[in-house]
């Protein structure tokens, strides 16, 4: 699986929300593109990710 340009490995298919939480992302602060498609936050729990996917995750930090 390619995450923000880096190759990592996941052994089983899992939901996007599980993957994000497992990798310490804060769900309310991210934008996620899976294989070139933006995934709305409401779909995080019923979107599956697997080892062949490419994910781009932007995690916002505060300040402006």
Q: Which of 13, 29, 45, 48 binds other proteins (CB under 8 A)?
A: 29
Q: Which of 8, 31, 48, 50 binds other proteins (CB under 8 A)?
A: 31
Please say whether the dihedral angle defined by the alpha carbons of residues 7, 13, 16 and 18, taken in this order, is positive or negative: negative
- The stretches of the chain forming alpha helices (DSSP H) are 16-22
Q: Residue 28, interface with other proteins (CB under 8 A)?
A: yes
Classify residue 51 by its DSSP letter. T
Quote the least distance from Cβ 27 to other proteins, whole Å. Answer: 9
- For strands 54-59 and 2-3, give the pairing: parallel
**Residues within the interface to other proteins (CB under 8 A):** 26, 28-31, 33, 36, 38, 40-41, 56, 58-64
């Amino acid at each position: 699986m390619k995450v923000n340009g880096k190759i990592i490995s996941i052994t089983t298919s899992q939901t996007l929300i599980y993957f994000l939480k497992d990798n310490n992302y804060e769900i309310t602060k991210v934008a996620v593109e899976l294989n070139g498609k933006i995934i709305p936050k409401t779909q995080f729990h019923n979107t599956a990710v697997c080892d062949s996917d490419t994910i781009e995750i932007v995690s916002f930090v505060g300040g402006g």
